[in-house]
């Protein structure tokens, strides 16, 4: 039996930009070890696996080394596959059962909107050695379940950062988000480093924006943002931090991330 595999560039409107993810459409569950081996074979920051379950799909995400609790760009890529390859009609929302609870997505023209849990942070002292490992002096550091969120003075400082990945790997967190206020038209910019899970730099990271949305909401006193992840490939994300009052109260504690995606190639797994 062959298994369909699609590679998608997520958070971009053009091939070879954004963040590539492999998406594997399964008829039913497969062993964890097999999924991890496929992710290692693909050697991308994430490989997504989905199969039918209840009123939607079970969705799992693997880096080449570990299974993740949440991944934005691979979810966006999976949604793109569901709609572009006829698994779901365009007007039907996608529903996923994941390690991070039930996630939903919908099509908005050429964009796909993901409904994810917000990931607020708490203030901490700047960890010893972090400035040296990053090669920049933090303006502020907070911590969340994903790792450290580090604010720098400017977008140029974020873009020009050349961290010591071996040093970053020693910190007891999955990842390190570096961010600053943006330059027009962007409200904020960011980069994401995760050498401890085998990803020195992730090109565009949806899960990081679940942390960035509440952080910049408190800083900028607004709930809607246009964000740019300033990796070499780059990516654009529309971000909506959940309102806790008024007509959008149902989105309290949630973050809506919108992006575009492009299929790069399709293939089949033979084993």
Residues forming the active site: 46
Integer angstrom CA distances of residue 37 from 21, 41, 61, 68: 15, 6, 12, 15
Angstrom distance (rounded) from CA 95 to CA 101: 11
Q: What b/e sequence results for 226-244 when a residue is b if at least 16 CB atoms lie within 10 Å of its CB, and e otherwise?
A: ebbbbbebbbbbbbbbbbe
Could you count the other beta carbons within 10 Å of the beta carbon of residue 174? 17
Angle, helix 206-220 to helix 72-84, in steps of 10 degrees:
120
Integer angstrom CA distances of residue 67 from 33, 60, 70: 10, 8, 9
- Residue 159, SS3 per DSSP: helix
Give the residues across from 221 on adjacent strands: none
Angstrom distance (rounded) from CA 197 to CA 217: 28
Could you count the other beta carbons within 10 Å of the beta carbon of residue 257? 25
Could you count the other beta carbons within 10 Å of the beta carbon of residue 31? 8
């Amino acid at each position: 039996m062959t298994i369909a595999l699609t590679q998608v560039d997520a958070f971009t409107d053009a091939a070879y930009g954004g963040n590539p993810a492999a998406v594997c459409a399964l008829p039913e569950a497969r062993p964890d070890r097999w999924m991890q081996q496929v992710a290692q074979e693909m050697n991308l920051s994430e490989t997504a696996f989905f199969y039918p379950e209840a009123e939607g799909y079970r969705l799992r995400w693997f880096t080449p080394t570990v299974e993740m609790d949440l991944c934005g760009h691979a979810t966006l890529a999976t949604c793109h596959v569901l709609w572009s390859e006829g698994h779901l009609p365009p007007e039907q929302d996608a529903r996923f059962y994941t390690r991070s609870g039930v996630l939903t997505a919908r099509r908005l023209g050429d964009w796909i909107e993901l409904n994810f849990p917000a990931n607020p942070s708490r203030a901490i002292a700047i960890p010893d050695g972090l400035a040296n490992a990053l090669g920049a002096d933090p303006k502020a550091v907070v911590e969340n379940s994903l790792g450290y969120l580090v604010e720098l003075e400017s977008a140029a400082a974020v873009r020009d950062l050349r961290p010591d990945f071996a040093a970053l790997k020693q910190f007891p967190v999955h990842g390190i988000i570096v961010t600053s206020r943006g330059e027009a038209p962007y409200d904020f910019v960011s980069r994401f480093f995760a050498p401890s899970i085998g990803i020195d730099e992730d090109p565009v990271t949806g899960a990081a924006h679940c942390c960035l949305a509440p952080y910049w909401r408190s800083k900028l006193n607004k709930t809607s943002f246009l964000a740019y992840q300033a990796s070499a490939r780059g990516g654009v994300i529309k971000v909506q931090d959940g309102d806790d009052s008024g007509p959008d109260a149902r989105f309290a504690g949630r973050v809506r991330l919108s992006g575009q995606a492009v299929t790069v190639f399709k293939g089949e797994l033979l084993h």
